[in-house]
Amino acid sequence: MNWARLCQGSARCTAQNRRSLAASGRLQPTLRRLPGSAESIRTPCGPLDMAPPTRLQVPRPGTAVPYTVLLGWLLAQVARAADTTGRAYNLTWKSTNFKTILEWEPKSIDHVYTVQISTRLENWKSKCFLTAETECDLTDEVVKDVGQTYMARVLSYPARNGNTTGFPEEPPFRNSPEFTPYLDTNLGQPTIQSFEQVGTKLNVTVQDARTLVRRNGTFLSLRAVFGKDLNYTLYYWRASSTGKKTATTNTNEFLIDVDKGENYCFSVQAVIPSRKRKQRSPESLTECTSREQGRAREMFFIIGAVVVVALLIIVLSVTVYKCRKARAGPSGKESSPLNIA
């Protein structure tokens, strides 16, 4: 290190010191760290403070992606705020057992909306005209043919106009994702219609949900729509344990082997294995055979109580009748008219 240059500018360094330092390289500085972040170098010319070098901040590799996502989100928000046309966004299909509603954002006080729906080969059909709501029930349209693929779009109009005359051309709109009811509707929660345990056999019957799909004026059941594509899975277990077993059927009935004398609990779930997504419904409410036995005992006691009450009423009625008849007998004879010969 060139100590002569370090000493330059210091009041303690004399010309003689600088010349001797320049001529000799035997002088070795002593270093010590002072409190704080700066370093102090002790030289023959006196202590010389040196600020620590500034570190170059290198972002960690894992932080680049979150920053990118956050930046994209911020840009999207800015773009939406700058969009003064009131165009809808986040168009989403909500459908369970073919009950189908289209939802979107934003909830605006400055715009109203009209929804249009069509298949790939048909013209647009308008629904929910100039509504301030952010949802539209399209069930009546999609149940006409649940195997078709439908598209929808939401048109935006200024609320102040109250009509479509404010747009000489086509108003701004946003398209929805495609929707095929047969593949995309969610399966509703099934219901256990009845069950019975006899010995080592447990019989469980599942009740099909009704849909809004019509045929010849009649609402079809889920089974009538999906046919053999619809399966049911039964989950059952001993009431005294938690280990579950499963059984599957493409009908509405289960007949499974169980241990005699054991109480069982079970639930069912609708499944369409041919689907790539939305294959399963929520599980039904849990039922237990012990509850059925409890209900049978309750019914027995209720029926027994009714029979006892009925017998008491009959006995009391007969007793009262006989008492009245016994009292009326002698008085009736005394008051009867005498026969005159």
Supply the CATH number for residue 104's domain: 2.60.40.10
CA distance 239 to 286: 11
Encoded tokens for 324: 């009245």
Residue 302 belongs to a domain: no
Residue 62 belongs to a domain: no
Residue 98 belongs to a domain: yes
Residue 332 belongs to a domain: no
**Domain region containing 115:** 89-161+169-183
pTM confidence score: 0.61
Nearest partner of 80 among 174, 4, 206, 199, judged by Cα: 174
Average pLDDT over residues 254-262: 93
Label residue 257 exposed, middle or buried (CB < 10 Å: 0-12, 13-18, 19+).
exposed
The residue among 153 and 328 whose pLDDT is bigger is: 153
For residue 20, is pLDDT > 60? Answer: no
Provide the pLDDT for residue 316: 84
235 & 262 share domain: yes
Provide the pLDDT for residue 299: 57
CB atoms within 10 A of CB 178: 12
For residue 85, what pLDDT band results from cuts at 50, 70 and 90?
A: low
Residue 280 belongs to a domain: yes
Judge contact between 208 and 189, C-beta under 8 A: no
Q: What is the pLDDT of residues 92-122, one digit of tens each?
A: 999 999 999 999 999 988 899 999 999 988 9
Question: Poorest-confidence range of 43-47, 175-179, 286-290?
Answer: 43-47
For residue 330, what pLDDT band results from cuts at 50, 70 and 90?
A: low
For residue 90, is pLDDT > 80? Answer: yes
Average pLDDT over residues 187-216: 94
Judge contact between 89 and 106, C-beta under 8 A: yes
Q: Domain total for the chain?
A: 2
For residue 152, what pLDDT band results from cuts at 50, 70 and 90?
A: very high
Residue 199 belongs to a domain: yes
173 & 100 share domain: yes
Which residue matches tokens 């005699």? Answer: 260
Average pLDDT over residues 254-281: 95
